[in-house]
Amino acid sequence: MRIRVGKEPLRQILKWAQRALFACAILLLGYCGFALVDAWVFQRRESRDLDRLLRDRRAASEGAPQPAPKSAPAAAADGLVGRIEIPRLGVSAVVVEGVDKTTLRRAVGHIPGTALPGEPGNAGLAGHRDTFFRPLKDLRIKDQIRFSTLKGDFHYEVESLRIVAPEDVGVLAPSGENVLTLVTCYPFYYVGPAPKRWIVRARQVVR
């Protein structure tokens, strides 16, 4: 049995399909615009707050008549951890606690359960491959990473780059040394959910 559609109904179908696709495109572009602006505003606000906290801590340390306390909070009350910078790649992003969808859309996330900078162990950070961690594709061995927190500035040197399966959580295992592990999806230009993970391991160095 053959179904025949007249020219006029076909034109109407195509017309409405065109309008529906156009509306979807507008919605997608609007969401992308919102995500970019939201991340930009969040980064500026948190970066400004971090700079203020660091200035206050420095001023208290330099001006206080008594020695500053040996320990300081590693994260602010709102989950602000610090700022990660990779000078050669021009990377500078605020790091906050957690790896939920909203957090990773706005910032680099500190992976719960891993060490914090200044603590012995393996500090894990996660970021999206199409935003903050996109430049990691150009990272090289011995590149320098700086992690500024309320406990101080910590410097790391990249020692390995690996591609692993998503279930390979051993990359976040505790370590007897002070190391930093960066995690993002791989391949970087894959369309859809990426099947692998790009792992950067860096060792803390003293300066």
Residues contacting 116, CB < 8 A, separation 6+? 74, 75, 81, 110, 123, 149, 151
Within a domain: 158: yes
Within a domain: 8: no
Count, residues in the chain: 207
The reported pLDDT for the residue numbered 11 is 73
* Tally of CB atoms within 10 A around 82: 29
- Residue found under tokens 């025949």: 4
Parent domain of 153 = 75-205
> Across all residues in the chain, what is the average pLDDT?
86
* pLDDT tops 50 at residue 67: no
pTM, full prediction: 0.79
How far, in Å, CA of 115 to CA of 119, rounded?
Answer: 6
* pLDDT tops 60 at residue 31: no
> Is 84 in a helix, a strand, or coil?
strand
Within a domain: 186: yes
Average pLDDT over residues 45-60: 88
Within a domain: 105: yes
The reported pLDDT for the residue numbered 118 is 82
**191 against 71, higher pLDDT:** 191
Per-residue pLDDT reduced to its tens digit, 74-123? 555 569 999 999 999 999 999 999 999 999 999 999 999 999 998 899 99
Within a domain: 90: yes
Model confidence band, residue 70 (pLDDT cutoffs 50, 70, 90): very low
How far, in Å, CA of 173 to CA of 69, rounded?
Answer: 30
The reported pLDDT for the residue numbered 172 is 96
**Does residue 121 come out as left (phi exceeding 0), alpha (psi in the -120 to 50 range) or beta?**
left
Contact (Cβ atoms closer than 8 angstroms) between residue 38 and residue 53: no
Within a domain: 14: no
Contact (Cβ atoms closer than 8 angstroms) between residue 120 and residue 187: no
- The CATH number assigned to the domain holding 158 equals 2.40.260.10
Model confidence band, residue 61 (pLDDT cutoffs 50, 70, 90): confident
The reported pLDDT for the residue numbered 22 is 67
Contact (Cβ atoms closer than 8 angstroms) between residue 131 and residue 137: no
Count of the separate structural domains present in the chain: 1
Within a domain: 143: yes
Exposure on the CB side of residue 136, measured as CA atoms within 13 A: 35
Per-residue pLDDT reduced to its tens digit, 4-13? 656 677 777 7
